[in-house]
């Protein structure tokens, strides 16, 4: 594995490195860890990387790694840079014949995302997107319940992602460091809140239910004066097949930390899952008391059991969910390297198509809000 971005002071880079290494199948051996060459070099030393494989630019890295013998160069690159650089970095490595794992959102715009998908398709390489919440065992169990018909016909989907960290004006240096670029349209894109965490809520609902949005009615708000992008948003959704939904994302919800949660209602029953209590999944019916399923037990689906590392009653969480995305991508890459055919059911990691859906969600939500919270049709994925 190589990495672009994620050096000293980066928020999410360390999480990616821990997750990738968790199962002992992936080694970090190269990187361009910052656009600042000196910082990249210092970060490489932090990670015990051979100085000869710590690069000053991602372009240099892609060219140099591609020139190495196939048994020595990186098998894939993890892209953990800011939103406006994802396309260029991923393109460089795809064109160099190197598989890619990329942080979300996929690209800066939907148009960029479509171009990147074309590159991925032409290359035949593995491209994984780290929508990490799909990696939780009980999220996979929820998906299994929907697929096997346990909930019946889906009627309503409620998905929420409230955070409270951005409620203040964030004037101190320590605070602005967290959110400043996410509020910069030239770096983050059209949206802050919906682009940063609303996309996670959308992806979670899409992964569990298999439903696509047909129309969206959104109102995005900026509650803290002076911010150029949204810090809160409310969406009404119309899904394929007639189901309806509500998606709410906020970074000004005082007292909430990372309270992503989802409820899916069907004609036979409903499910409920909370990211801050990820090892439990509730099933509820109108004619019986609620039941709770827990991670690590033999009564769960094969997908949920396969995403579990520790015995029942031993909790797993955020890093392990991230690791499941990396492990699935690594399996796909290893199969390509060994010349093995992909399994009929495919690989369970978010793809470039999931990234396109996320960008379509962002742009549709912004468009609806700009039109005064009018219903707008969702573009084809």
Residue range 197-214: average pLDDT?
Answer: 98
At 56 the pLDDT is: 97
Establish if 339 belongs to a structural domain. Answer: no
Residues 101, 177 within the same domain: no
Residues 120 and 159 in one domain: no
Residue 176, domain member (yes or no): yes
Same domain, 184 and 45: no
Identify the domain containing residue 33 by its residue range.
2-125
Evaluate whether residue 165 is within a structural domain. Answer: yes
Task: Please check the confidence at residue 146 and state whether its pLDDT lies above 60.
Answer: yes
pLDDT digits (tens, 9 = 90+) for 57-82: 999 999 999 999 999 999 999 999 99
Backbone angles phi, psi at 167, to 5 degrees: -70, -30
Same-domain pairing of 216 and 83: no
Residues 37 and 162 in one domain: no
Q: Are residues 98 and 170 in the same domain?
A: no
| 328 is a domain residue | no
Q: Examine the domain organization and report whether 169 and 256 are in the same domain.
A: yes
Q: What CATH number does residue 230 fall under?
A: 3.30.360.10
Mean local confidence (pLDDT), 290-304:
97
The residues near 60 (Cβ < 8 Å, ≥ 6 apart) are 32
Instruction: Answer yes or no: do 223 and 355 share one domain.
Output: yes
Say if CB 123 and CB 365 are below 8 A apart. Answer: no
Q: In total, how many domains does the chain have?
A: 2
Q: What is the pLDDT of residue 178?
A: 45
User: Do 100 and 203 have their domain in common?
Assistant: no
Q: Which of 108, 125, 142 is the last residue of a domain?
A: 125
Confidence of residue 167 (pLDDT cuts 50, 70, 90): confident
Same domain, yes or no: 94 and 181: no
What pLDDT sits at residue 381? 87
Rounded Cα gap, residues 201 and 218, in angstroms: 14
Average pLDDT score over residue span 86-112: 98
> CB atoms < 10 A from the CB of 227, how many?
17
**Residue position matching structure tokens 């690209």:** 107
Does 262 fall in a domain? yes
91 domain residue, yes or no: yes
CA distances, 231 to each of 154, 163, 180, 187, 249 (Å):
30, 10, 12, 16, 8
> How far apart are alpha carbons 252 and 92 in whole angstroms?
37
Q: What is the mean pLDDT of the chain?
A: 95
* Percent over 70 (pLDDT), the chain: 97
Contact criterion met (CB below 8 Å) for 33 and 6: yes
- Asked, for residue 286, whether it belongs to a domain, the answer is no
Q: Is the pLDDT of residue 277 over 50?
A: yes
pLDDT number for residue 83: 96
CATH of the domain at 104: 3.40.50.720
Same domain assignment for residues 37 and 87: yes
pLDDT digits (tens, 9 = 90+) for 169-198: 554 545 544 457 888 999 999 999 999 999
Q: What is the pLDDT of residue 166?
A: 86
Same domain, 107 and 239: no
Average pLDDT rounded to a whole number, residues 268-293: 97
If one counts every other C-beta atom within 10 angstroms of the C-beta of residue 50, the result is: 9
89 within domain boundaries = yes
Whole-angstrom distance, CA of residue 346 vs CA of residue 343: 5
pLDDT at 310 over 50: yes
């Amino acid at each position: 594995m190589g990495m672009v971005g994620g050096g000293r002071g980066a928020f999410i880079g360390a999480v990616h490195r821990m997750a990738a290494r968790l199962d002992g199948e992936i080694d970090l051996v190269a990187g361009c860890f910052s656009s600042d060459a000196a910082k990249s070099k210092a970060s490489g030393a932090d990670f015990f990387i051979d100085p000869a494989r710590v690069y000053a630019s991602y372009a240099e890295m892609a060219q140099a790694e591609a020139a190495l013998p196939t048994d020595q160069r990186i098998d894939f690159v993890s892209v953990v840079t800011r939103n406006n650089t994802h396309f260029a970095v991923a393109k460089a490595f795809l064109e160099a014949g190197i598989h890619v794992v990329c942080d979300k959102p996929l690209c800066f715009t939907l148009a960029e995302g479509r171009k990147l998908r074309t590159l991925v398709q032409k290359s035949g390489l593995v491209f994984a997107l780290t929508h990490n919440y799909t990696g939780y065992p009980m999220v996979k169990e929820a998906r299994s319940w929907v697929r096997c018909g346990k909930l019946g016909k889906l009627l309503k989907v409620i998905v929420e992602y409230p955070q409270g960290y951005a409620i203040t004006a964030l004037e101190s240096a320590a605070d602005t460091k967290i959110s400043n670029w996410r509020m910069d349209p030239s770096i983050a894109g059209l949206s802050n809140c919906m682009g940063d965490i609303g996309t996670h809520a959308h992806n979670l609902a899409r992964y569990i239910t298999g439903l696509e949005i047909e129309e969206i009615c959104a109102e995005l708000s900026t509650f803290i004066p002076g911010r150029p992008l949204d810090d809160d948003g409310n969406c009404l959704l119309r899904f394929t097949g007639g189901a309806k939904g509500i998606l709410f994302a906020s970074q000004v919800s005082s007292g909430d930390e990372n309270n992503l949660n989802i409820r899916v209602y069907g004609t036979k029953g409903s499910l409920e899952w909370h990211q801050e209590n990820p090892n439990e999944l509730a099933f509820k019916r109108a004619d019986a008391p609620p039941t709770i399923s827990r991670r690590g037990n033999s009564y769960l689906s094969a997908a949920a059991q396969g995403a579990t590392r520790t015995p029942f009653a031993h909790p797993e969480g955020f890093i392990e969910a991230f690791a499941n995305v990396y492990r699935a991508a690594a399996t796909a890459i290893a199969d390509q390297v060994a010349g093995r055919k992909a399994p009929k059911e495919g690989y369970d990691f978010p793809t470039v198509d999931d990234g396109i859906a996320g960008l379509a969600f962002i742009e549709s939500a912004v468009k609806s809000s700009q039109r005064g919270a009018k219903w707008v049709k969702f573009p084809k994925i």
